[in-house]
Amino acid sequence: MIAKKLNIGDTIGLISPASPENIDVIENGIKFLKNKGFNVKEGKNIYKRYGYLAGSDKERSEDLINMFTDKSIKMILCVRGGYGCMRTLPYINFNIIKDNPKIFVGFSDITTYLNVFYEKCGLITFHGPMLNSTLDEITFKSLFNTAMNPITNYTISNPSGINAKCNFSKSVEGILVGGNLSLICSTLGTDYEINTRAKILFIEEVGEDPYSIDRMLTQLILSNKLDQCAGIVLGQFTNCKLPHYERSLTLNEVIDDRILALNKPTISNFMSGHDYPKLTLPIGARVRLNAPIGSIKVLEPVIY
């Protein structure tokens, strides 16, 4: 299931489904979108604060559902991640989302929604920048070209000068799923567990030591999630290094041991995650992982 494309002059709805953001950051983001020619509608509770959450679970889930039912909204853009999306899942009526498909964009903690909306509703969602992101030229074009141009198929590849690394000589196809590694692991054993069978699994992370990356990848191995997937895309692992490694494996050693040793088609150093430039990926779309050249070809329309 795909949503209608975004046009200049359309309205973008803003929600804060996880942690709160500073008012000036929200205001600057709104000004940026308006200067680009879009209208903006704020969720009722986007300025709320409840500890590390942007309002109560019901308030945040109500903003989400209201944006899906609002006929004036073409794209729903999350203000930021942080923590909290999983807490709202029991309050979400997925039939409403299924009946009102919209372009839905976010990453990090929003990983939960991206995959659950695909699994429960069949909706293709977008792992991309949020309102508080730095919308450099490449990041901006990747998101809005994706949201505004209904192309039958297209290729996503790193910007010139940033090489993706590949370990395999053949390509593989499958539905693209995934996002933030810790959020993927957090769904395991729940009704919202990610399904990786025959899928292309995308993984990125931020601020985790190598041992923590090791622990989470091992959890995916023990739950058969890595064995079941057809291929893997490793995005940006930002600030996941240590000042010394006297008592630690390096991140690359962890990746070699936990991922590359599986001998599955894998692309690493793909520019999507918690750094810039940030490429927008369609979660739930059928793609071809072109391992030999380090690119992803989207094989179906993701908007219409």
- Summarised one tens digit per residue, pLDDT across range 155-183 is 999 999 999 999 888 899 999 999 999 99
Count of H-run helices and E-run strands, the chain: 10, 14
Work out the average pLDDT over 202-228. Answer: 98
Q: Report in angstroms the alpha-carbon separations of 94 from 61, 98, 101, 107.
A: 11, 6, 11, 20
Helix (H, G, I), strand (E, B) or coil at 257: helix
Which pLDDT does position 69 carry in this prediction? 98
DSSP-assigned states of every residue in 62-113: HHHHHHHH-TTEEEEEES--SS-HHHHGGG--HHHHHHS--EEEE-GGGHHH
Q: Is the pLDDT confidence value at 149 over 90?
A: yes
**Residue 209 pLDDT more than 90?**
yes
Q: What sign does the dihedral 96-98-103-106 (CA atoms) show?
A: positive
Q: What is the mean pLDDT of the chain?
A: 97
Report residue 291's pLDDT band, with 50, 70 and 90 as the boundaries.
Answer: confident
The distance in angstroms from the start CA to the end CA of the chain is 10
The C-alpha atoms of residue 168 and residue 73 are separated, in whole angstroms, by 42
Average pLDDT over residues 200-209: 98
Question: Of the candidates 71, 14, 15, 12, which has an alpha carbon nearest to the alpha carbon of residue 37?
Answer: 12
Six token digits for residue 222? 């023990």
Which pair of tokens denotes residue 88? 């709202």
Q: How far apart are CA 255 and CA 268, in angstroms?
A: 9
Query: Phi/psi at 197 (nearest 5 deg)?
Result: -60, 120
pLDDT tens for 235-272 read 999 999 999 998 999 999 999 999 999 999 999 999 99
> Where do the domains of the chain lie, and which CATH numbers do they carry?
11-148 (3.40.50.10740), 154-298 (3.50.30.60)
pLDDT confidence of residue 152 = 86
Catalytic residue IDs: 108, 204, 274
